[in-house]
Structure formats: structure tokens, C-alpha cells
Amino acid sequence: MSVGSVGFWRVVSPEKFDMNPTVLKVAQILAIVLVCLGLDQWTKHLAQTRLAASRSGHFDHNVVLTVAQDMDQKTVRDVVTAEFGEWNSAAEINDILSVVTTDGAVRMAPSRTVSAGDVIEVRHREIVIVPGYFDLQYTRNEGAAFSLLADTDSPLRKPFFVLVALIAVGVIAWILRGVTLQQQLLIWALSFICGGAIGNLIDRLRLDYVIDFIVWKWTDEYRWPTFNLADTFIVVGVILMALEMIAETIRERREKA
């Protein structure tokens, strides 16, 4: 595929704008990347603060709840139901209550009365979107996309992934220099990939791991590796690039014919 070739999405015409096409292109790329980053980091923040999980031998991640004034002298069950009842069924609330503790790791009975300002730690909470097919579960990925190389303990793992991400972002930025404003498919594809790569890079620099939370599965027998929105943006970008390459091949064959 030639970077200078014209993409098949010709939805932007520089003549319609009283502005340098390069400025418009850069503004569009930055807007797409920033939206991708915003959505990625926001959803990861929600996963980090609203989902709880324990991976034996790997990590424990709890949701910390501070009892609000309006829940003063209510039971633990009341607090947990008020907090999670919108997204979790009664049976799921019971599962959550089975592993609720104080901040000192002392188990709390569901019928225990709490006061405003008390701290409750929820040690397990996930959200079932489509039973048997689509869940939201907190996990930590210390490898690459879709947990690749997550099991290696090499001290070079983090520098390696950071370097790879920086190189990828640099290569994408260099390629985007040669893309014209009319090549909308390439602009969206490369911007998605860049936004996703930066999103996971931020996690790796800030936390030393990437937060994943989206689970696709076929019952409990077949399960796709847990991923996040950044991974989704990268995959969508690759698909769009593949479509551009197919369209480019079709155009070249028609021109030769």
C-alpha cells in the first residue's frame, strides 16, 4: 500500500475549509487520539474503582467503600445493595457479601450494622452483561495485548514493552506525516492504533501493568483473553488498514485493466 495513494473514503475536501489541510489533518488526528485515550482511561478507572478480584498468587484488588451519612446505622447488606444493586442481581449481591471485610481484613456479616465513615472492603465483584457470553471482570495484564508474554518474570519486561510502544507510536506518527487529509480511512486507522498504544503505555508507566476488564466467552468452555478499550481501538485500526489495503489493490487492478 502506498502512503501517498488516495483512500476510498473521500469525505473531506480541503477546499471547503479556509485552513491549511495539514493543520486540519493534525487537528483531526489529535482529536481522535484524545477521544480514544479519554474513553480508555475513564473505563479503566471505573474498572479499578468498581470491580474487585483476587488472582491467587498474583494480586488482590478490592473495592473500598466508605459508608455515607445516609447509610448510617444500616446493615452491610443495605450498603452493598445500594452501591451495586443497579448492576448486580440479588444472587450476585449474596456472592459479593460472602467476602466483604473491614479495612483490617476482618470478615463482616451481611447483617452487621455500620456507621457513617466506616470502611468496607469488597473483595470480589464482577458485572455480567450477557450471561455466559459477556462479563466485566477486573484483571491485571503484565504482558502485551491480550495477555501475551504475561507469564515472564524478566526484569526487562517493562522496559521492553515501553520501548516497543514508543517505537510503534513513533512509526505511526512518521507514517501519518505522509497521509493526506483525503485519506480518511488511514487517518482513522492509524489514529485508533496510536490512541490504543498510548493508552496501554500510560498504564504500564503508571502501574507497571495494564488494566483489562472485558471478557468475551462462550459459556465457560471457550474464553477470549481479557482485554480493554485500548486493545479494541488497536484491533479496529488494524482492520481499517486491512480494508484500505484491499481497496488499494482493487483500485490498482482496475487501473491496469
Give the span between the Cα atoms of 207 and 237, in whole angstroms: 25
> What is the C-alpha radius of gyration for the chain, rounded to an integer number of angstroms?
23
Catalytic, out of 40, 135, 203, 231: 231
Cell representation of residue 242: 486491512
Beta strands 119-122 and 113-114 are: unpaired
203 is catalytic: no
CA geometry: angle 146, 149, 240, nearest 5 deg: 35
60 is catalytic: no
Residue located via cell numbers 488499494: 248
Long-range contacts of 100-108 (CB under 8 A, 24+ apart): 100/76, 103/64, 108/76
164 SS3 class: helix
Catalytic, out of 40, 153, 212, 220: 212
Answer for the pair 239, 254: CB distance below 8 angstroms, yes or no. Answer: no
Cα torsion angle, 48, 89, 67, 106, sign: negative
Q: Which residues are catalytic?
A: 212, 231
